[in-house]
Amino acid sequence: MDIPHDLIVLERAAEEQRARLAGLDGEEFDAQHRAWREAVQAVQAAFADHATVSGQTTEGVERAVKRAVRQSEEDPAE
């Protein structure tokens, strides 16, 4: 499956937002959690759009993108 670069960029951005949650609490955690949720919503919408255009399932697109991200770099949460 050919993975569009923009999907990889969006997935990485969402994972970076998730990684920023580490060590936060209270209002800082809540604000960062909202930012992460928004990033996840954007990437999920992009997965769905690509699936529709390419005739694939959203789940298949998501798996392929996550696999490509894992293979290209280490987890930003580490």
User: Which residues, 6+ apart, have CB-to-CB distance to 69 below 8 Å?
Assistant: 8, 11, 12, 15
Q: Is the pTM of this model over 0.85?
A: no
CB burial class (10 A; 0-12, 13-18, 19+) of residue 43?
buried
Residues 21, 33 contacting (CB under 8 angstroms): yes
Q: What is the pLDDT of residues 9-54, one digit of tens each?
A: 999 999 999 999 999 999 999 999 999 999 999 999 999 999 999 9
- For 46-70, the pLDDT digits (tens) are 999 999 999 999 999 999 999 999 8
E strand or H helix at 15: helix 5-19
* Closest to 66 in 3D by CA, of 22, 12, 18, 6: 12
